[in-house]
Chain A
Amino acid sequence: MELVQYTNKKLAAVLLVIEALQSGDFPHSHSKPVLDRIETLLQERVNTLGLIQPDTDQAVTKTICKEILHKIFTVYPLLGFIARSMDVRNSFELHGPFLNIVSKALGEDAKLIISSEWDFSPFTYNMPGDLGFSKVVFIGIPVSESGNGLAIPLSGHELGHNIWRAYKFHDKYYRVVEETVVKHIEKVIWDEFQQYFPAVGAPTNLTDMIGQQYWLKSWYWSMSQCEEIFCDFIGLFLFRESYLHAFAYLIAPGLLGSRAEHYPNMLDRVAALRQASDSQGIIFPDSYANLFEDSDTPPDAETRLLLSISDAATKQLIEQLCRDAASLLNDKGLLAHSFAATKRIEKSFSMGVPAISPQSLTNIINAAWNFSRNAMPGWSHRYPSVYTNPKRCEQMLNDLIFKSIEVLEINQIQGIE
């Protein structure tokens, strides 16, 4: 019974943390039902533990305790994420307008929790289905960027992961990627592939159970790369040019060291962004690609070969991924933007005032990026004491962005265009 006591104590401690969090000062209400759900899940485990008797089979007890420990491990980071969602450094004003986008994309019952992360990479939680969070979008922004209005487009990429999951794009691309990988091996690099994996014997064996295991990694990496590219396209089509700038701001020129296989090659990723930009009339900056560099290729030749196969397969699917992302957003009415409104907002920023009728988040963020990249036109003579102080300049622009977002929310609530 010692094991049961330990597990009970751990569960009680986590439940205590949840109780403390439930009484927290949450600015937005969506965290509470998630906490309640986690509490219910853990409380169910407490009840299960209560059924264990001294004569219960030791193996059964161990399995139950293992499952509970696994559950604690699963929900624990989420509790930290929810705790940090209360931090005032977060972009609280973003919640309403971004929830509007999330609801259009995933349905009216979708929930949104935006938080900050001590990890310099925006991400979203992909929670196991049994937790019941399939309609909750968790978006984590690096803590130093969570109050930066110019970084907002990166949330579009994270929403993309939720869309990929909700609309079962994994299932749709499962076979397509497999066929593309096999075709590439067969038609383009068969000789080289055979040198590394002579056991396959002939191209016709590639699809049997033995043959599959040799290119499974390529398939797996390409699936993941396709998802990343798709998410880039969701971010790009939602936020247009501002996505390109925010993306470069956060991750250019790339990371040191060997590349992560589940991400596309950086220059391929940028080329895909260019292709998708062209398809939607998004202005792709001339020297944009020069900001980036590829990471080092993996040191061992076999991994290099397998990765080259996934890269090639991903590249061949870019057009299809682009069509899928655009068509989904178009169907959901999420491709709306206005050059005229963007220009009007830029003019407002130049006067040192927020947008009066922003119409969309995209218009605000694009106006802000244009204004910032053009060195705050108008401020040198209107706000010289701000203009000569880069920190105040950034602060004022950030305040203008978030006040504009609040005006957008007010207009949406009031039904004003």
Chain B
Amino acid sequence: MLLRSSTIAHLIDDCENNESDPLVITPKPDTRRIHGDSSASVDLRLGTWFRTERASRHPLLDVYDRDRLAPTEHSITQAHYIPFGSQFILHPHSFVLAVTLEWIRLPFYLAGMVTGKSSWGRRGLIIETAPGVHPGYSGCLTLEVTNVGDVPIAIKPGTKICQIFLYQLDGTVNAAEGSRFVGQRQPQLGAISSDEFAEKLFQSRT
């Protein structure tokens, strides 16, 4: 079931009274305004940390190459801090990892779906290509931001950049399992994990 904005606002307002499994969004959005909205999402803002790819001495980004050790996050990307009042320029056809200004904690009975805002999309700014947020997630959301247009775009921390839709699960997930989904305040590449199924396929012709 998709939650209405007013329901989300109610859950946010109630977060300090709910000590077991609250929905928290901080900095807290203006819940009075959300209450009056007849939509089904909450807008999220652009944060202050960015991570760009950088040229390195690694010949390619090969996450499978365990013998030679895959390049670390620090060796292939560079962090940038853009304080309030400043801006980040995203050049045409370039890509940056950004982060939401809001730290979000989802209860174990809710999942989220993050999408860009159409007003940005129409200007060539595409946000978030892996939009699922798991129940129990806690942290700032990493956003994949790409300028697919032909002119540079300035983006400022604090700008409404995307929105989150919240869905109620048909039950709750195991809290301990949910704890895997802990984010950080800076954008992260995250690990690309393998499994037994994939490993067998990878090794089938070696």
Q: Which residues of A contact B (CB under 8 A)?
A: 25, 27-28, 88, 92-93, 95-96, 344, 347-348, 351-356, 381-386, 392, 395-396, 399, 402-403, 406-407, 409-411, 413
Contacts and interface: CB of A to CB of B under 8 A. Distances in A.
B179 A385 contact: yes
Contacts of B24: 348, 351, 353, 356
B28 interface: yes
Given A353-B24, A354-B103, A386 B80 contact: no
Given A353-B138, A407-B27, A402 B83 contact: no
Given A344-B16, A356-B28, A92 B179 contact: no
B105 A352 contact: yes
Contacts of B139: 399
Contacts of A383: 138, 179, 182
B48 interface: yes
B20 to A, nearest CB: 9
A381 B80 contact: no
Contacts of A93: 48
Contacts of B135: none
Interface string B80-115: 111110100000000000000101010000000000
B83 A95 contact: yes
Contacts of A356: 15-16, 24, 26, 28
B139 to A, nearest CB: 7
Interface in B45-99: 48, 78-84, 86
A411 to B, nearest CB: 7
Contacts of B186: 399
B173 to A, nearest CB: 13
A351 to B, nearest CB: 7
A382 B175 contact: yes
Interface of B: 15-16, 19, 22, 24, 26-28, 48, 78-84, 86, 101, 103, 105, 138-140, 175-176, 179-180, 182, 184-186
Nearest to B180: A385
Nearest to B18: A351
Contact of B81 (A88, A348, A386, A399): A88
Nearest to B186: A399
Given A93-B48, A356-B16, A403 B175 contact: no
Given A352-B138, A385-B176, A385-B182, 17 more contacts: A25-B80, A27-B83, A88-B80, A95-B83, A344-B16, A351-B19, A353-B138, A356-B15, A382-B179, A384-B176, A384-B179, A386-B179, A395-B184, A396-B184, A402-B185, A403-B103, A403-B185
A402 B139 CA distance: 12
A410 B27 contact: yes
Contacts of B84: 96, 409-410, 413
17 contacts: A28-B83, A88-B78, A348-B24, A353-B105, A353-B138, A356-B28, A383-B179, A385-B180, A385-B182, A395-B184, A396-B182, A403-B103, A406-B27, A406-B101, A406-B185, A407-B26, A409-B84
A107 B178 CA distance: 48
A27 B176 contact: no
Contacts of A386: 179, 182
Contacts of A384: 176, 179
Contacts of B179: 382-386
A356 to B, nearest CB: 5
Contacts of B103: 353-354, 403
A385 B136 CA distance: 13
B15 A381 contact: no
A399 B27 contact: no
Nearest to B51: A88
A347 B138 CA distance: 15
B182 A27 contact: no
Contacts of A351: 19, 22, 24, 105, 138
A258 B152 CA distance: 60
Contacts of B86: 27
Nearest to A378: B19
Nearest to B82: A27
Q: 8 tightest CB-CB pairs across the interface, nearest first?
A: A383-B179, A352-B138, A399-B185, A92-B81, A88-B79, A353-B24, A27-B81, A403-B185
Nearest to A92: B81
B27 A92 contact: no
Contacts of B180: 385
A96 B82 CA distance: 13
A27 B16 CA distance: 33
A96 B86 CA distance: 13
A354 B82 contact: no
Most buried by A among B22, B24, B26: B26
Contact of A96 (B16, B27, B83): B83
A303 to B, nearest CB: 48
A347 B83 contact: no
B182 A381 contact: no
Contacts of A403: 26, 103, 140, 185
Contacts of B176: 381, 384-385
A407 B24 CA distance: 13
Contacts of B80: 25, 88
Nearest to A406: B48
B63 to A, nearest CB: 21
A350 to B, nearest CB: 9
A357 B79 CA distance: 28
Contacts of A353: 24, 26, 103, 105, 138
B96 to A, nearest CB: 14
Contacts of B182: 352, 383, 385-386, 392, 396
Contacts of A27: 81-83, 86
